[in-house]
Amino acid sequence: MISIVFSCLGVAAQKFLKVNPGPIAPIMSAVIMLSGAGAVAVSIRNWRAVIGVVTIGTVSEIIGLFSGIPFGRYEYTDRWVPTVPLGAEHRFPLLLPLAWLMMVGGSSLFVRQYLTGWRLVVGTGALAAAIDISMERAMTDVLGYWRWMPPGPLYGAPVLNTIGWFGVGFIAASILPTATRQTSSAKTVLPLFSAFVAWNGLTTAFDVAWIVLLAFSIWLTTWGKKEIAIANDSEVLP
């Protein structure tokens, strides 16, 4: 994805050359989310399922912001623009639903190369949760998109967050179709996005979290080779 390459160069210029990106940074962030989510949606080929994943992610986040369930207590900042107020001083980033589609949909597209049926659903939830853990440090300490109250042991996130990600990812994956047409761009969504987040961290300070995230990126790229059978568009998991 060309947008990620330009964003990485922009991050380097900002950190090392002290260049102020101005409005370009949030615009490129939106482009990355839109292009990544779009590639995943095209591969899924079932718009009801795509809308369902987006809806499940959105509803879980709104419930989480007001109740602390299923992720723990947290709040979004004004740095992940654009945001809308939800009341009680909560903010909701408009790109957040697309992030859920990228993470859950991208994880499902990868896992389905090796697993089917209920194992696919479980594997999707587990992979999405694992990638989220390794992204936490960059998303909170570097990009400052959200903050935990209080911070937890998993790169700043509470253990409940990982449980919540697995649970919501499991539910969202259960409505995805069993057959997809995985495009070349969809295959690179998770690896490139993981590498981009890790690059944001590496340009700030060394942390084992960046190494873990880069390892995920390499693993997703190296092992994502198996072809996926194509079946009826309307077929969904039982």
User: What pLDDT score does 204 carry?
Assistant: 72
| Higher-pLDDT residue of 159, 16 | 159
For the chain, the average pLDDT equals 82
Q: Nearest-CA neighbor of 96 among 64, 134, 49?
A: 64
233 occurs within a structural domain:
no
Q: Nearest-CA neighbor of 129 among 107, 156, 152?
A: 107
- Residue 184: pLDDT band by 50, 70, 90 thresholds? low
234 occurs within a structural domain:
no
Region 110-130: mean pLDDT is 93
Q: Which of 83-87, 143-147, 204-208 has the lowest mean pLDDT?
A: 204-208
Residues counted in the chain: 238
| Higher-pLDDT residue of 205, 170 | 170
Q: Angle between the 184-202 and 24-44 helix axes, to the nearest 10 degrees?
A: 150
230 occurs within a structural domain:
no
Residue 2 pLDDT more than 70? no
Q: Nearest-CA neighbor of 232 among 183, 179, 182, 181?
A: 179
Region 186-206: mean pLDDT is 77
Residue 34 to residue 193: CA distance in whole angstroms: 12
Inter-residue contact 237 to 174 (CB < 8 Å):
yes
Residue 26 to residue 42: CA distance in whole angstroms: 24
Residue 21 pLDDT more than 70? no
User: What pLDDT score does 126 carry?
Assistant: 97
User: What pLDDT score does 174 carry?
Assistant: 95
Highest mean pLDDT among 4-13, 18-27, 71-80, 172-181: 71-80
Segments forming the whole domain that contains residue 109: 2-223
238 occurs within a structural domain:
no
Residue 70 to residue 112: CA distance in whole angstroms: 26
112 occurs within a structural domain:
yes
231 occurs within a structural domain:
no
Residue 229 pLDDT more than 90? no
Residue 187 to residue 100: CA distance in whole angstroms: 16
* Residue with the two structure tokens 């957040």: 96
Question: pTM for this one?
Answer: 0.83
Residue 194 pLDDT more than 70? yes
User: What pLDDT score does 175 carry?
Assistant: 95
Region 51-72: mean pLDDT is 97
Could you read off the pLDDT of 38-60 as tens digits, one per residue?
989 988 889 999 999 999 999 99
108 occurs within a structural domain:
yes
Count of domains for the chain: 1
Give percent of the chain above pLDDT 90.
Answer: 46
229 occurs within a structural domain:
no
Residue 125 pLDDT more than 90? yes
Residues whose CB falls within 8 Å of the CB of residue 23, separated by 6 or more in sequence, listed in order = none
